[in-house]
Amino acid sequence: MGKKCFYTGKKAGKGNRVQTRGKAKRLGGVGTKVTGITRRKFKPNLQRVRAVVDGKVQRIWVSTQAIRTGLVQKPVINKPFHFPREQK
């Protein structure tokens, strides 16, 4: 299975890489010419993080957009320390 964001569903897309040469008309040339077209992938920025999913800690692929918007709930690594209460 390919990489895909757990929350947003982002995955790699397909497109073309277009190579051109020549000088643009607006700069005084005769225009740019296409010299080659090859297939390429547009990859999203996915990170593998530990997150709480359905009450369990799992490693999942998540886009940085999901991390920035706060969709990812990260587990508490160290619980804060509390002094025991004195009993009187």
Residue spans per domain, the chain: 13-69
SS3 19: strand
Selection from 55, 71, 53 nearest residue 63 by Cα: 71
pLDDT of 57: 94
Reduced to 3 states (helix: H, G, I; strand: E, B; else coil), residue 2 is: coil
In sequence order, the 6+-apart residues with CB closer than 8 A to the CB of 75 are: 50, 51, 52, 57
Q: What is the mean pLDDT of each successive set of 10 residues along the chain, which is 88 residues long?
A: 90 97 96 97 96 94 96 86 75
- For the stretch 20-37, pLDDT in tens is 999 999 999 999 999 999
Q: Return the pLDDT at 84.
A: 80
Give the pLDDT score at 1.
61
